[in-house]
Amino acid sequence: MKRVFLLRHAKSAWDNPGLRDRDRSLAPRGRKAAKRVGRWAKKHTVRPQLVICSSAARAQQTMRLVLPSLGEPEVWVEVNLYAADAETLLARIRTLPDEVDEAMLVGHNPGLMDVLLLLAAPGKLRERAAVNMPTGALAELEADVRRWVDVTPGEAQLKAFVVPRDLK
């Protein structure tokens, strides 16, 4: 069994129009949301062995706020996760080390939402996720495979879909 968590960066600030998109930081609301998701992750024993994060400032800040709740995963920051589409993300998932059973990707929409919808089997939770994967949302997908390369579209079970505004 392999499990992948998809975490969209939390709400970013738009107060500096001259700043490059990848350099935008989290808004105060985003910091609060990331902390709420972190508390949920801790309560629900989210323990990825590996976290792969986009190089964008807002993604890294989100990861750093959630990270204390995840145990002690290895962390990789990768430029190619910034603005990655679903196919790129699926390819990245399929190249995860097989000794890792649980991994987390921290990135951006539309790629994260698209890969979630690509991988998830039909069901009510998938229908909810199909409406929107808002900033700070966390999805948990479970695939009944032994190797990441065998992760197949439409066959993963969407076990959780957490939206910060639903958390206290």
Residue 100 is predicted with a pLDDT of 98
75 token code pair:
């962390």
Residue 15 is predicted with a pLDDT of 78
pLDDT tens, position by position, for the chain (168 residues)? 999 999 999 999 877 777 787 878 999 999 999 999 999 999 999 999 999 999 999 999 999 999 999 999 999 999 999 999 999 999 999 999 999 999 999 999 999 999 999 999 999 989 988 889 999 999 999 999 999 999 999 999 999 999 999 987
Q: Which domain holds residue 11?
A: 2-166
- Nearby residues of 26 by Cβ (< 8 Å), 6 or more positions away: 9, 10, 11, 12, 13, 34, 58, 61, 62, 65
Adjacent-strand bridge partners of 68:
none
Q: Are 142 and 159 in contact (CB under 8 A)?
A: yes
Q: Are 158 and 141 in contact (CB under 8 A)?
A: yes
**What is the tally of structural domains in the chain?**
1
In 11-59 the beta strands, taken as DSSP E runs, fall at 50-54
Residue type, 61: Q
DSSP class of residue 143? E
Give me the CATH number covering residue 102.
3.40.50.1240
